[in-house]
């Protein structure tokens, strides 16, 4: 009894931050997202230990074999093991997702801060962003890929160009609403310089929505990489990324649907997991629930 009272009192008085595990237990979709993502990361990170097949080793005797005990997810048209290719292929997809998320949020943050604070820069920057956002994302990315040498770096750049305007809009919106706040005015009146106001007062307010956006960008980037590769305008075809494996399976789909379905499911599950995490992060960081944090 006394213990419970003391515990309740502690809970009421200490604004203790809850751990990830605490939230995961109360939020099944977050837990599901975490579990799937953890499994995908483990499978791709330990890829070479989870299979003894080389992802690029050709085996002419085992062409187009359906899933079996020997080949968990079957083999492709030149007898390469699909389980091995799928888990190895995840590396490049996840890598691109993370790099694009980091690159896009940092560049988007910078442009958004400038745009939100300087009216002159805003007029020019928002025109460009509106124009970029009026071109369907996939088309913009593949058109960019068409004229650049095919490499992983180009893929990262193409996806970033598509995603940056969305981040800029978000950051700009936050800046515009925060700069009207009394404490920012107070800082201006007391003689703080623009740079200091941006970094001390405005930047911290953008971080919560920005981190939610970063998860969505990461999911979108993984999706885009596979789309671009699937259309033949992405990661160089010799790299076994999820999109490239699927692109190779197109001709054989009726004979061997597993070539496309195996990496396709892996890709979809990964994107699903990241979206679930993003959604629960958004709910957690929503100011209305801020007290619960």
The binding site for other proteins (CB under 8 A) comprises 29, 127-128, 130-140, 142-148, 219, 223, 226-227, 230-233, 246, 253-254, 257, 260-261, 264-265, 267-268, 271-272, 275-276, 279
CA gap 59, 81 in Å, rounded: 9
User: Least CB distance from residue 11 to other proteins, whole Å?
Assistant: 27
- Give, in degrees to the nearest 5, the angle at Cα 163 between 158 and 167: 150
User: Least CB distance from residue 231 to other proteins, whole Å?
Assistant: 5
Q: Which is nearer to other proteins, 198 or 271 (CB)?
A: 271
User: Least CB distance from residue 247 to other proteins, whole Å?
Assistant: 10
- Three-state SS string over 83-151 comes to HHHHHHHHHHHHHHHHHHHHHHHHHHHHHHHHHHHCHHHHHHHHHHHHHHHHCCHHHHHHHHHHCCCCC
User: Least CB distance from residue 274 to other proteins, whole Å?
Assistant: 8
CA gap 218, 215 in Å, rounded: 5
Instruction: Give Cα separations from 11 to 22, 80, 191, 214 (angstroms).
Output: 14, 56, 41, 32
Q: Which is nearer to other proteins, 22 or 253 (CB)?
A: 253
User: Least CB distance from residue 293 to other proteins, whole Å?
Assistant: 23
Q: Which is nearer to other proteins, 145 or 174 (CB)?
A: 145
User: Least CB distance from residue 171 to other proteins, whole Å?
Assistant: 20
Q: Which is nearer to other proteins, 73 or 223 (CB)?
A: 223
User: Least CB distance from residue 275 to other proteins, whole Å?
Assistant: 5
Q: Which is nearer to other proteins, 45 or 231 (CB)?
A: 231
HSE-up of 18 (CA within 13 Å, CB side)? 14
Q: Which is nearer to other proteins, 29 or 192 (CB)?
A: 29
User: Least CB distance from residue 65 to other proteins, whole Å?
Assistant: 18
Q: Which is nearer to other proteins, 197 or 247 (CB)?
A: 247
HSE-up of 4 (CA within 13 Å, CB side)? 1
Q: Which is nearer to other proteins, 99 or 276 (CB)?
A: 276
CA gap 199, 194 in Å, rounded: 9
């Amino acid at each position: 009894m006394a213990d419970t009272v003391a515990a309740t009192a502690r809970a009421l008085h200490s604004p203790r931050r809850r751990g990830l595990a605490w939230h995961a237990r109360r939020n099944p979709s977050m837990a599901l997202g975490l579990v799937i993502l953890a499994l995908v990361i483990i499978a791709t990170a330990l890829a070479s230990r989870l299979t003894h097949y080389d992802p690029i080793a050709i085996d002419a005797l085992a062409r187009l074999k359906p899933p079996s005990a020997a080949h968990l997810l079957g083999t492709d048209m030149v007898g390469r093991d699909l389980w091995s290719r799928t888990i190895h292929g995840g590396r490049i997809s996840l890598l691109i997702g993370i790099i694009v998320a980091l690159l896009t949020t940092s560049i988007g943050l910078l442009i958004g801060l400038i745009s939100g604070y300087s009216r002159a820069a805003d007029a020019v920057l928002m025109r460009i962003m509106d124009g970029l956002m009026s071109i369907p994302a996939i088309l913009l990315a593949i058109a960019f890929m068409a004229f650049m040498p095919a490499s992983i770096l180009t893929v990262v750049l193409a996806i970033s160009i598509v995603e940056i305007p969305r981040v800029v809009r978000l950051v700009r919106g936050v800046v515009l609403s925060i700069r009207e706040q009394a404490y920012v005015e107070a800082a201006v009146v007391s003689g703080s310089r623009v740079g200091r106001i941006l970094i001390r007062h405005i930047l911290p307010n953008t971080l919560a929505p920005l981190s939610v956006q970063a998860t969505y960008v990461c999911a979108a980037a993984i999706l885009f990489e596979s789309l671009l590769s699937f259309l033949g305008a992405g990661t160089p075809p010799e790299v076994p990324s999820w999109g490239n494996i699927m692109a190779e399976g197109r001709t054989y789909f009726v004979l061997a649907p597993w070539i496309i379905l195996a990496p396709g499911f892996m890709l979809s599950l990964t994107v699903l997991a990241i979206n679930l995490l993003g959604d629960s992060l958004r709910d957690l960081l929503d100011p209305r629930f801020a007290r619960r944090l």
